[in-house]
Structure 1
């Protein structure tokens, strides 16, 4: 999506150089203080756990009880700017990371080699991996969703530089979340303008997606996260979404109908957590529990998680329980679960904290008790595991956190930084007319042919 061409401004070369330099320095200063929330992803069968903080990607192999060394033969660091999204494929063979460096990297989870590097024209804000592992979709901050086909990418050969093709667009609205439906029929995209679009994923995705199934409209603030609840008796799945309006909505994706709403922010206020600031009850992440109607919700003001239940016959939502992290300033920034592990993994933290000795801060916690006796109940009370009880123990924490012992005050600073980070992610930079004209003259976007 390119800006229209413009005529060159009549400035002399010296003034133009000085002005361009000032713009670049201003942008660099802005980026230096732009923090990135810590993210976590768990292999479907819990073979590995990945955490990203800023540009740092950390992976731990649980069966072998060791840290993973990433192999990226494209040269240089795996990422050179903040990672904004990480995901495993449904079969666990692929892992994908992307972010502000405009790189989408596909990794083989068997060798942890980067098997494909995809170049984006803009900074990446969300991604999704189709269940068959044949396609990766990613979205940028200009509202475009791109698709990459991955047939034949298995990590057995040299890394491939795949090209991305435009799939659909949200008309210049920042896309905040992408999800494929469990059956692969639809790709769902959400944006900062309160909108959720359900698009039929075409048989020939490289030709573009032209059929919109529905729009899910009802949130009053930006949509922050999407997830599908899927059980053996309901393979099509039900869509749930979280938002800056402190609610979780449940949707019928076929019709776009709003089925139910849960006021999770109001519940957090009832629990006397600090919900006095604007947007502090934003839903930051939703994590479903496989083959179960229970799902976990992370809220910006909540030191713990809120457990919700989706009643599929009546199509209603209800709060089951709040699991608090007692004695720590632990407000999760990202959640992850596995098919059979019975564990919910959480991370908190942020990168580029001003005034901190920790450039990439993260803290990992795990909640057990999610083995199901029935689809909508738990066998036992969820329990927050101690550090020594977490799979992988001290070795895992040392790898994923970078340090086992960190001052609690630093985590308070991280929680505040994450609020700012989410705000920054959803706001496009504003430039004066002069700066905008000079930026147009000096564009260096990679043209994709």
Structure 2
């Protein structure tokens, strides 16, 4: 993997990490990760959730980059730049496992039987860990690798037979989920090739019960593509640049906006799309008969902030968050426990002070006659009528969510993402310096 710096030491403030949002499978709680912090709101009790963590380290020390519930909702995982993967029991919201990887973590997912948590890193490797608590120490086992290319997303198919991974080098790989994950996943089933820029996100459309689900993917080439992932065949290309709402949004002076987020409704029929520097959400409809994606609706946020993450809940409501926090990095140098604790405290304070916007998009109620078409449309819920009310907003937004401040932070996070996904060209001298200061290489001094 090629990174963006040739020097050693801590880097503070040189990156921004986007806010992420996830909803419990039964809709009972909403989680926002911003910086190194988790903000959780219980919709049934209408109150903030306080987590407990007696593992070591007991808190994330750098930005969280991936969060996920398992299908049953009894597990939740968070992971990120501190190379930590934390597994949480959602009944008590206590952390039951913490492990550290050699590289920063970019994505997490669970097996369909909930026996395994999977996580991918910046070096292109995917690891797995059993969710069961054991007396002996758990060690992650490597499942597969992408040859030093940053893995951007990780998904498991609805029937649990395949692992889908996407990366910075334009490709999507479909691997067979092994009978014994501890022995790796060496069997590659197919590749989905066709994107002309880095792939950012993937999801599945269609009914889970039919067994005929297809894959959708988003990319830096501004397209959302539809795939038969079992054969690797590309079925349709939806170019977001062709939409009037995107062309009319003047917040960015570039021909191509990266697709930065995807979420699919529970029935598999609606694909919600986030675009780089676009102050709204695109809703695409999946045509199962024609195997195509069609534009359904464009929803523009009145605050003119760019959403950074989104997630459908079980009732087909679409939750979106806009925001980012400064990523405080320790780097790979050796530090004392006191220095590590101080950096962790700074990261937690930065996360606590970060502000975000949380909004809810709801499906319009059904109608008859001439208004029947409205049944397929969505509308932005007013802030005053948000599910969870002021208590939810106070918990998830983190204080006074000034739209200007949120917009600037979100833009900085997108620029950081662009920087990470675009391979840097190095001079000969820079390459030599990078070889000398590789953090996985030991040097011995010759005594004179």
Give me the TM-score of the superposition, normalised by structure 2: 0.85
Q: Which runs of no fewer than 5 residues in structure 2 stay unpaired?
A: 329-349, 368-372, 444-448
Partner of 1:171: 147
Distance 1:358 1:149 in 2: 31
Partner residue of 2:192 out of 213, 216, 222: 216
User: Structure 1 204/414 Cα, relative in aligned 2: closer, same or farther at 3 Å?
Assistant: same
Distance 1:255 1:378 in 2: 36
CA RMSD of aligned residues (A): 2.8
Residues 1:368 and 2:379 aligned together: no
Shift of 1:279: 7.2
Partner of 1:333: 308
User: Structure 1 262/438 Cα, relative in aligned 2: closer, same or farther at 3 Å?
Assistant: closer
Q: Secondary structure at the match of 2:16?
A: coil
Partner of 1:141: 122
Residues 1:399 and 2:399 aligned together: no
Runs of 4 or more above 4 Å deviation: 268-271, 356-359, 370-373, 427-432, 440-444
Q: Secondary structure at the match of 1:32?
A: strand
User: Structure 1 241/392 Cα, relative in aligned 2: closer, same or farther at 3 Å?
Assistant: same
Shift of 1:357: 12
Is the 1:182–1:230 Cα contact (8 Å) retained in structure 2?
Answer: no
Shift of 1:325: 1.3
Partner of 1:426: 421
Is the 1:220–1:245 Cα contact (8 Å) retained in structure 2?
Answer: yes
Is the 2:306–2:322 Cα contact (8 Å) retained in structure 1?
Answer: yes
Partner of 2:438: 439
Distance 2:362 2:245 in 1: 25
User: Structure 1 353/188 Cα, relative in aligned 2: closer, same or farther at 3 Å?
Assistant: closer
**How many residue pairs align between the two structures?**
410
Deviations 1:294-325 (A, max 9, x none): 11111113211111011112211111111121
Is the 1:69–1:112 Cα contact (8 Å) retained in structure 2?
Answer: yes
Mapping 1:89-100, distance limit 5 Å: 89-100=70-81
Distance 2:376 2:148 in 1: 46
Deviations 1:93-136 (A, max 9, x none): 11110000001101011000001112211000111112221111
Residues 1:242 and 2:218 aligned together: yes
Distance 1:97 1:313 in 2: 37
Residues 1:390 and 2:386 aligned together: yes
User: Structure 1 428/101 Cα, relative in aligned 2: closer, same or farther at 3 Å?
Assistant: farther
Deviations 1:403-448 (A, max 9, x none): 1442x3213312320221212432578654235313347669xxxx
Deviations 1:38-83 (A, max 9, x none): 0000001111100011101111111111111111101455211000
Residues 1:117 and 2:98 aligned together: yes
Q: Secondary structure at the match of 2:138?
A: coil
Residues 1:417 and 2:412 aligned together: yes
Partner of 1:15: none
Partner of 1:10: none
User: Structure 1 357/164 Cα, relative in aligned 2: closer, same or farther at 3 Å?
Assistant: closer
Distance 1:205 1:358 in 2: 37
Is the 2:116–2:129 Cα contact (8 Å) retained in structure 1?
Answer: yes
Distance 1:102 1:278 in 2: 33
Distance 2:73 2:366 in 1: 22
Is the 2:143–2:183 Cα contact (8 Å) retained in structure 1?
Answer: yes
